[in-house]
Structure 1
Amino acid sequence: MNTVKILLILFMISFLNANEIMPTKIVNISAGATDLVINDNKLFVSTSAGRINIFNLKDFKLISNITIPQVKDFIGETNDSKIYSIDVLKNKILILSQGEKGARKIDIYENGKLSTIVPDTKHLFIAQAKFINENEIIFSLLSNELLLYNINEKKIIYNKQMSQSKFSYFALNENKKKIIIADESGNLKLCDVQTGNLLKTYKGKNLDNVFQVDFKNGKILTAGQDRRVVFYSKNDAFYKESSFLIYSCALNSKATLAAYSSNENNDVTIFDTSSKKDLCQLKENKMTLTKILFINNNEILVASDNDKINYYKIKE
């Protein structure tokens, strides 16, 4: 092998290693993370053990914990109430958690008190819930029904069946006027939040269940069981293929950067959505990813079924 070839191989190895990024910091949490929300310079982490950890976003020091009461399962055993999703609006925290005997409930935590909004006695199998404003929440059932709920009036504004496919995930746009709904069909439905009316269907790119979807700056990103991460812009759509199921994905605020779980080692690949070029890979994620969240263009959080969150700086 001549000198030029040796130098070329060494350069390529060096280039690949330079694009592999290790965590700058590891944040310890109560159990596997189920959702991450950033609000008012704080990081809110919901866990599978019925606890919300609240951290200072600047140094990741723990500020406080919120613990949801334990519940009884079908056979009467007491277990931690798994939290499925959270949201934060001003000083209120919206919490979707496991209720009694397999049902689910929605609570609001405010001023140290937990108030039930949708009780488990309704026997609803709610998959995800988010604030629309101080008086309205939106949530989806596993049966792929979308519901808008008025908190003050304790009334369902609408209940619409999105499709016959099992619900997977939804994402709201920045002003919370539109919602993207993903399900096991691979199709995406763009709906009006206040009416529930269908505005557009995106189909043909994901061929199977979409585990997660993100919606930023009018752009959409999906994480597919078919090993495809699909990026939709106004006039175009393309996908990248992975060697493994893609469980999680995220966009930065301008949707110029996209991140997705890209292999069986739970590495996260970040690519430029304009050039489609892979930029780097985030390493050392130990378990199946549950959430990726950009703090800004240079900082990103990666959570999993593990009791740790990895914090990365893309550029030092």
Structure 2
Amino acid sequence: MKTIEKRSQTNVNEKGITSMIPNILAMKKILLILCCSVVGLQAVINVTPFHQIHVEGIVKDISLYGDTLLIGTDKGVLHIYDYEKQVFLKQITLPKVKDFMGDEIDARVFSVDQTDGRYLLLSTAGKGGYSNLWIHEDNVTKELIFPEDKKAVIKARFVDKEYILLGYLSNEAVLFNTVSQKELYKVQLSPSKFSDFALNEHKTKAVFSCESGVLSVIDVQTGKLLHILKGQNVDNVYKVDYKNGIISAAGQDRRGALYDVALGQGTYIEGSFLIYATALSPSAKKVAFAMDEKNNISIYNRSTKQKLVELQGQKSTLNTIIFKDENTLFSSSDDSTVMMWKIK
């Protein structure tokens, strides 16, 4: 009898152990998932600014040209800064303008660029809310678009030394000849209000964004509409970038959109706040978005959407992000500081 009882007990133990195996395996699976999640979280690197550039006034736009950074401010000034030597090389100051009360105020410089010894400045014309376009060359500043022209130009960039691409508030794309001071074409892209445009690296194509969330890609030389990209943003797209056949779009709808232009297909990364700025690395393998209310800049692997780096330290609402190379960035916001970042 004792032998039988012992065998019965052994069978019960074997059954208990057997029944526990699935639970142990399930626990191991959960632990593995948690470990992977922790590793994923640890993989995101927090980075503070490598260098800070301080100017007088609020920075409205920045652009890169070689080893120089151009900084336009609301004090009517374009600063040219050598970021390698960390010194200011030049300062261009525009004449004051009159507001609607007739008082003299600083012209707000809100779009800047450089090519072949020429500097471009787009500024407010004061009363009426129209724009001035200036070219500075050989220490002479020449006005190309006057207040009397009543043009509401929001952004300007050099295509080459002779031609400038303009974005009008009315969402019209314009190619402007600096010699004849005439518009070669004026293309209405949509009835929605213009937000931003970006040239590709060869300056042969440009993408325009507007308050509808629809993106328009044009041929720069002719103004011909090549692509309409939509579906990823459903509201205003504040900023766009265009590199290596890829477009990134910063949306009011908290979506950081990405489009493959050739395929006409897109996707997006969800943010936690309005996304005011974006940039692509030269290879378009990395994308930066201002993803949260703290003005941190999140950098992702574009293909996998994996967050790689978070840039922390911006104090105001971001307006521009620029990749110099795959691991160096500049950013500006609505304050007097431009930040330089190294992510490796």
Q: Which residue of 1 aligns with 2:233?
A: 206
Per-residue displacement from partner, 1:102-121 (whole Å, max 9, x unpaired)? 22110101111110111121
Q: Which residue of 2 aligns with 1:138?
A: 165
The reply to whether residue 272 of structure 1 matches residue 301 of structure 2 is yes
Any conservation in 2 of the 1:86–1:93 contact (CA below 8 Å)?
Answer: yes
- Measure the CA separation in 2 of the matches of 1:154 and 1:268: 39
Q: Which residue of 2 aligns with 1:299?
A: 328
- Measure the CA separation in 2 of the matches of 1:277 and 1:46: 33
Q: Which residue of 1 aligns with 2:190?
A: 163
State which drifts further: 269-278 or 229-238.
229-238
- How many aligned positions are there? 308
Counterpart amino acid of 2:315? Answer: K
Any conservation in 2 of the 1:188–1:201 contact (CA below 8 Å)?
Answer: yes
How do residues 184-263 of structure 1 correspond to structure 2 at under 5 angstroms?
Answer: 184-233=211-260, 234-235=262-263, 236-263=265-292
Distance 1:17 1:265, change over 3 A: farther
The Cα shift of 1:64 comes to 2.1
How do residues 40-189 of structure 1 correspond to structure 2 at under 5 angstroms?
Answer: 40-101=66-127, 102-189=129-216
In our comparison, the structure showing a higher alpha carbon Rg is 2
SS at match of 2:159: strand
| Structure 1 residues without counterparts, runs of 5 or longer | none
Per-residue displacement from partner, 1:201-220 (whole Å, max 9, x unpaired)? 00111000000000011110
Any conservation in 2 of the 1:30–1:53 contact (CA below 8 Å)?
Answer: no
Any conservation in 2 of the 1:31–1:305 contact (CA below 8 Å)?
Answer: no
State which drifts further: 61-70 or 242-251.
61-70
Any conservation in 1 of the 2:244–2:283 contact (CA below 8 Å)?
Answer: yes
SS at match of 2:218: strand
Per-residue displacement from partner, 1:206-253 (whole Å, max 9, x unpaired)? 000000000011110000000000111233421011110000000011
State which drifts further: 54-63 or 69-78.
54-63
Counterpart amino acid of 2:196? Answer: Y
- Measure the CA separation in 2 of the matches of 1:30 and 1:221: 31
- Measure the CA separation in 1 of the matches of 2:323 and 2:150: 35
State which drifts further: 35-44 or 176-185.
35-44
Instruction: Tell me which stretches of 4 or more aligned residues in structure 1 moved more than 3 Å.
Output: 11-18
Question: With structure 2 as the length reference, what TM-score do the two structures score?
Answer: 0.86
Any conservation in 1 of the 2:69–2:81 contact (CA below 8 Å)?
Answer: yes
Identity across matched positions, percent: 35
SS at match of 1:221: strand
Which one has a larger percent helix, Structure 1 or Structure 2? Answer: 2
SS at match of 1:140: strand
Any conservation in 1 of the 2:277–2:290 contact (CA below 8 Å)?
Answer: yes
The Cα shift of 1:94 comes to 1.0
The Cα shift of 1:18 comes to 6.3
State which drifts further: 293-302 or 258-267.
293-302
RMSD: 1.8
- Measure the CA separation in 2 of the matches of 1:150 and 1:14: 51
Counterpart amino acid of 2:143? Answer: T
Counterpart amino acid of 1:110? Answer: E
Distance 1:70 1:202, change over 3 A: same
- Measure the CA separation in 1 of the matches of 2:55 and 2:204: 33
| Structure 2 residues without counterparts, runs of 5 or longer | 1-30
The Cα shift of 1:282 comes to 0.3
Distance 1:61 1:17, change over 3 A: farther
Distance 1:77 1:130, change over 3 A: same
The Cα shift of 1:14 comes to 11
Per-residue displacement from partner, 1:157-194 (whole Å, max 9, x unpaired)? 11121110000000111221111010000000011112
Q: Which residue of 2 aligns with 1:314?
A: 343
Q: Which residue of 2 aligns with 1:289?
A: 318
Per-residue displacement from partner, 1:67-91 (whole Å, max 9, x unpaired)? 1111001111111100110111110
Counterpart amino acid of 2:153? Answer: I
Question: With structure 1 as the length reference, what TM-score do the two structures score?
Answer: 0.93
